Chains A and B, each alone.
Chain A
Amino acid sequence: MQPFIYQRAETLEAAAQAAAASRGSHVEAPVQFVAGGTTLLDLMKIDVMRPATVVDINPLQERYGAIATDDKGLRLGALARMAQVADHPSVRRDFPVIAQTLDLAASQQLRNMATLGGNLLQRTRCNYFRDVSWAACNKRNPGSGCAALDGMNRKHAVLGTSDQCIATYPGDFAQALVALDATLEIAGPQGRREIAVQQLHKQPGSTPNIETQLVPGELITAILVPSAPWTRRSLYLKVRDRESYEFALASAAVALDIADGEVREARIALGGVATMPWRAKEAEAALRGRRLDEAAAEAAAEAAFAGAQTHEHNAYKVPLGRRTLVRALLDAARLEIRS
């Protein structure tokens, strides 16, 4: 691990200012924020991230770590810990898909450490990204190529890829937020702004090193999830190589508003198969106004993966992803919702 200066930020403004002098995308900045540390320290140990200064933002937790609910929705402080939110009774009852994405991620130790903001910004598990002995990685070293394209790419993405990068976005929680149209409050050197979670991450395109639209010094301070008729009838289905403590091979976050047997609204986001949290609007459109039977679910799944591009070892993700979505939709349709 490269030596670094450790600083504690006692205020949001000080944190933003400490990192504001950095240039480039936030993941490459020489000043990095640390909260839970479960991504940053891991990547620093394996030399993938080499910040010169690490700014500890945990002193801000009291102010930016609360969980609040009202009739408009849910407000999650970005420094709330994953475990804390997963166990919150209102989250479990009113936003089950959120609780499930958190429950099914990582281990309880990691969920006790990791914050919501950090979780959204966790970085890919691509083996060629995580091992600096591979020279070719456009994410780590722009312009160097992509070792995964014709390497071992069984776990790589089939949606949102480019000829520069096929690394999978590894998270779960972001899928729930994208499906539920959540927004983020962001504070930074230029002041505060609000964006849709859907706009946070970027497809790799020709700049896989730019993973989000955050600039150096910006911090996610809160996540806002609006209440809607579909938030209670929601779930997360995660398929993986082992039953627990593993990243998704394919996953689906779904939320449904069903009345008189017909789908009034469907919200769908896919994980494990895409380069970013993947909202499947075509699949949503395919369900609207239909009775949710197996044929409708399969048509939606077909639409969700219509643009999939596979590589040597990951073609299985298309049928797996489709079946995952079909099962998630049928399970969600069967949920009994108590008022």
Chain B
Amino acid sequence: MTPDHSARPEGRSSPAAPGLDRRSFLGAGACGAAVPLLGAASAAAQPAVAAAPDVRRPLDVKLRINGQDHRLALDSRTTLLDVLREEVGLTGTKKGCDQGQCGACTVLLDGTRVLSCLTLAVMAEGRAVTTIEGLARPDGSLHPMQQAFVDHDAFQCGYCTPGQILSAVACVQEGHAKDDAQIREYMSGNLCRCAAYPNIVAAINQAKSEMGA
């Protein structure tokens, strides 16, 4: 997917700053195409689809990523994955298949694991996004799952690892890591070309006790 960069007044994101002038920052301001539809009562008086918005206008999108607010001007087609990597500069989240088949792009939305390649960025508004960069503590010490992946050599090339780790954190929190068979079943959405699966299962078993599950 190629977002239409020509339509975007500002290419890069900035952390939202208080008092930032909205129009000078976004250009499009309130003209973005995210038009909330009218309720039934007012719909009779006005058409629900307000005067055809211009598809070239970027959307004004506010995202909370790893505890930090970002304001972005985005083509409606932009996926959360592309925002993370191309706009916000968080390249830990990986693009594998880009069609929901490999799990490399897994992130947490309000603590729930989802595929960022099949999530429109605008649909993540109002939800807390957690990427691999947001897992470690502020002092830099690793999350127990990250440490367990290191301890058990749970990767070779490492490309699927950020997705594996986020998926594994959620797997434990969901209560779906009771035994090896359940871990394998509930981690089946994360493919590993290097086939580090036995070590991934071992890492999850170690981390789950440290996570208090």
A53 neighbours in B (Cβ, 8 Å):
49
Question: 8 Å CB contacts to A: which residues of B36-62?
Answer: 36-40, 43, 48-49, 52-53, 55-56, 59
B52 neighbours in A (Cβ, 8 Å):
5
* Secondary structure type dominating chain A contacts: mixed
Pick the contact of B176: A9, A52, A106, A108 (CB < 8 A): A108
Question: 8 Å CB contacts to B: which residues of A1-43?
Answer: 1, 3-11, 13-15, 17-18, 34, 37-38, 41-42
B39 neighbours in A (Cβ, 8 Å):
10-11, 13-14
Q: Contact: A42 with B1, CB < 8 Å?
A: no
Q: Contact: A110 with B189, CB < 8 Å?
A: yes
Binary contact readout B175-208 vs A (1 if CB under 8 angstroms, 0 otherwise): 0100000001110111000000000000000000
Q: Contact: B122 with A6, CB < 8 Å?
A: yes
B122 neighbours in A (Cβ, 8 Å):
6, 56
Given contacts A5-B76, A245-B188, contact A112 B114 (CB under 8 A): yes
A1 neighbours in B (Cβ, 8 Å):
1, 77
A45 CB-CB contact with B under 8 Å = yes
Name B189's closest neighbour in chain A (CB-CB).
Answer: A107
Pick the contact of B77: A3, A8, A46 (CB < 8 A): A3
A314 CB-CB contact with B under 8 Å = no
Binary contact readout B5-46 vs A (1 if CB under 8 angstroms, 0 otherwise): 000000000000000000000000000011111111001000
Pick the contact of A3: B35, B75, B99, B118 (CB < 8 A): B75
Size category of the B interface is 35 or more
A41 neighbours in B (Cβ, 8 Å):
79, 118-120
Given contacts A10-B36, A113-B119, contact A108 B55 (CB under 8 A): no
B103 CB-CB contact with A under 8 Å = yes
Given contacts A5-B53, A110-B115, contact A45 B37 (CB under 8 A): no
B59 neighbours in A (Cβ, 8 Å):
6
A207 CB-CB contact with B under 8 Å = no
A53 and B106 CA atoms in complex are apart in Å by 27
Question: 8 Å CB contacts to B: which residues of A94-131?
Answer: 106-110, 112-113
B171 CB-CB contact with A under 8 Å = yes
Q: Contact: A113 with B49, CB < 8 Å?
A: no
Q: Contact: A113 with B115, CB < 8 Å?
A: yes
Binary contact readout A47-76 vs B (1 if CB under 8 angstroms, 0 otherwise): 000001111101000000000000000000
B98 CB-CB contact with A under 8 Å = yes
A106 and B190 CA atoms in complex are apart in Å by 11
Q: Contact: B123 with A5, CB < 8 Å?
A: no
Report A119 CB to chain B, min CB distance, Å. 14
Name B167's closest neighbour in chain A (CB-CB).
Answer: A109
Report B14 CB to chain A, min CB distance, Å. 22
B65 CB-CB contact with A under 8 Å = no
Looking at A8, A9, A11, A108, the one whose CB has the most chain B CB atoms below 10 A away is A108
In the A-B complex, the 3 residue pairs with the closest CB atoms = A107-B189, A244-B188, A13-B40
15 contacts across the A-B interface (CB closer than 8 A): A4-B55, A7-B36, A8-B34, A9-B37, A10-B37, A10-B39, A17-B43, A18-B37, A37-B120, A53-B49, A58-B123, A87-B174, A109-B113, A109-B167, A244-B188
Known: A38-B118, A56-B123, A108-B167. 5 other contacts (CB 8 A): A4-B76, A42-B100, A45-B99, A109-B115, A243-B188
